[in-house]
Amino acid sequence: MATQLKRNSKYSEAEWTARQELAACYRIFAMMGWDEMIFNHITVKVPDEDGAFLINPYGLHFSEVSASNLIKIDIDGNKVDEDNPWHVNKAGFVQHSLFHRVLPDAHAIIHTHTTATVAVCALEGGLQPVNFYACNFAGQLAYHDFEGVTVREEEGERLVENLGDKRILMLKNHGPVVMGKTLTEAFIKYWALQRACEIQMATMSMGQPITVPQEVIAVHQRDLFMASIPGQAGKAEFDAMVRKVDKIDTSWRD
């Protein structure tokens, strides 16, 4: 983030930076209306501590998350920072822990229940290449059949198998799981997916959408990739949204 940030000596510099970035991300999600009461999770790996992750405290709204109330947990969802008074929704971490465990590149994982993304997850055929943002994702999404609330470990094998080499899993009838090598990359992928789903909902409510031909999708994806700055995916967009969050409330930094 552009402005440097008050340091908290209880944490390493890397952890404090990760805490502030994740807290800011929760506030962005709240501001955008992508929150779900006290449910859903965005998790990240603690950069300088193997097997440690940060997750939102169970019971707080996304708009109440701050750098210091985020909970550090191990891969099984057990709380590591014992003096944090909040609890973890361990059930909600099950699918995050699975992907963090098996995918070294899944640094950040976002799972939501927004109306638009759940609606598309509940639609036969899922996301269709009928708008600009949806074309970003053509051929990039994996799908997984609904088996009830995702808390049973034995579902893990099928989740991983269905994900394959993709990094976005559309849980049918449930919601998306978006993974990124960085939090800002996961954020910008999520934002585009959310927009793709909202626009698909609007389009299908009006009538028959126009399907974009495969050769146009290929050109679109090639040129999108060329336009991105390597290693900086989503950073400028994320920082702009943080400045907007700061106009509401800066308490996420503490």
Which residues in this chain contact Zn ion in the complex, by CB under 5 A? 175
Q: Which of 74, 108, 103, 70 is nearest to 90 (CA)?
A: 74
Tokens of 193: 């997916």
Chain residue at closest Cβ approach to Zn ion: 175
Closest CB to Zn ion among 98 and 217? Answer: 98
Q: Least distance from C-beta 77 to Zn ion, angstroms?
A: 15
Q: At what angle do helices 235-248 and 183-206 cross, to 10 degrees?
A: 80
DSSP letters of 164-187? TT-SEEEETTTEEEEEESSHHHHH
User: For Zn ion, which is the closer residue by CB, 57 or 175?
Assistant: 175
Please state the closest distance from residue 20 (CB atom) to Zn ion, in A.
26
Nearer to Zn ion, 94 or 245 (CB): 94
77 or 175: CB nearest Zn ion: 175
How many alpha carbons lie under 13 Å from residue 241 in its C-beta half-sphere? 21
Minimal distance, residue 225 CB to Zn ion, in Å: 30
Smallest gap from residue 203 Cβ to Zn ion (A): 25
Pairing of strands 168-171, 141-144: parallel
